[in-house]
């Protein structure tokens, strides 16, 4: 039940709760969107809490997001100023291989990224003034393991349709500052 030194279900406690929506002025939730991809690029989950602007239709949007992350990983692995021998650009990288990024920020949003050794990628899009989201992402991964992986009816590689997972996720995201 231990992964990344995280806690088991019984001990999972929400971080000190801020009144929902205060950080960003959003009604009810502090995050904008969440994506979960598996290693082949299938979008297992897309949750949206506050997204006034939809530039592309959901399919395209998810493909674009995955493509961006793939390219960014190649970019950071190649750009790494501390390693001497780097592979060529465009070579698919294994999870954990080479330097990887964990977040980027624009003037309208902050994207936090986590890739697990199994190739599951979790992306959380929040308000630009959000702090370091690495711990919350690990917590979300734990929720995923508890309610999705351990669900005997879940077919791996297919989109997630577990009510318990969605509820717990929404509850947790509400407590993020």
Partner 1 sequence: MAAIYSLFIINKSGGLIFYKDYGSAGRMDTNDSLRLASLWHSMHAISQQLSPTLGCNGIELLQADTFDLHCFQSLTGTKFFVVCEPGAQHMEGLLKVIYELYTDYVLKNPFYEMEMPIRCELFDMNLSQAIQKDRVSLFGR
Is 129 a binding residue for partner 1 by CB under 8 A? The answer is no
Q: How far apart are CA 130 and CA 24, in angstroms?
A: 9
Is 27 a binding residue for partner 1 by CB under 8 A? The answer is no
Total interface residues for partner 1 by CB under 8 A: 40
Which neighbouring-strand residues pair with 35? 46, 123
Q: Over the range 118-133, which residues count as b (16 or more CB within 10 Å of their CB) and which as e?
A: eebbbbbbbbeebeeb
Contact yes or no for 168/143 (Cβ under 8 A): yes
Stretch that binds partner 1, among 12-20, 98-106, 150-158, 163-171 (CB under 8 A): 98-106
Is 59 a binding residue for partner 1 by CB under 8 A? The answer is no
The contacts found for 67-71 with CB under 8 angstroms, 24 or more apart, are 69/37, 69/113, 69/121, 69/123, 70/41
Return the residue of 42, 89, 91, 94 that touches partner 1, per CB under 8 A: 89
Return the residue of 120, 125, 173, 176 that touches partner 1, per CB under 8 A: 125
For partner 1, the closer CB: 50 or 174 = 50
Catalog residues that contact partner 1 under the rule CB under 8 A.
32-33, 50-53, 55-56, 61, 64-65, 67-68, 71-72, 74-76, 78-84, 86, 89, 99-109, 111, 125
């Amino acid at each position: 039940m231990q992964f990344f030194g995280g806690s088991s279900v019984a001990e999972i406690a929400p971080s000190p709760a801020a009144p929902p929506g205060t950080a960003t002025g959003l009604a009810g939730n502090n995050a904008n969107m969440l994506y979960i991809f598996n290693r082949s690029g299938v979008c297992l989950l897309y949750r949206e809490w506050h997204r006034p602007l939809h530039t592309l239709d959901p399919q395209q949007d998810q493909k674009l997001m995955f493509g961006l992350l793939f390219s960014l990983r190649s970019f950071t692995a190649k750009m790494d100023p501390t390693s001497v021998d780097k592979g060529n650009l465009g070579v698919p990288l294994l999870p954990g291989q080479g330097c990887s990024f964990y977040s980027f920020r624009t003037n309208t949003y902050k994207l936090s990224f986590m890739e697990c050794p199994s190739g599951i990628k979790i992306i959380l899009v929040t308000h630009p003034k959000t702090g370091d989201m690495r711990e919350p992402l690990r917590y979300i991964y734990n929720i995923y393991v508890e309610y999705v992986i351990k669900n005997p009816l879940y077919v791996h590689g297919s989109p997630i349709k577990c009510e318990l997972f969605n509820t717990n996720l929404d509850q947790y995201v509400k407590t993020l500052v």
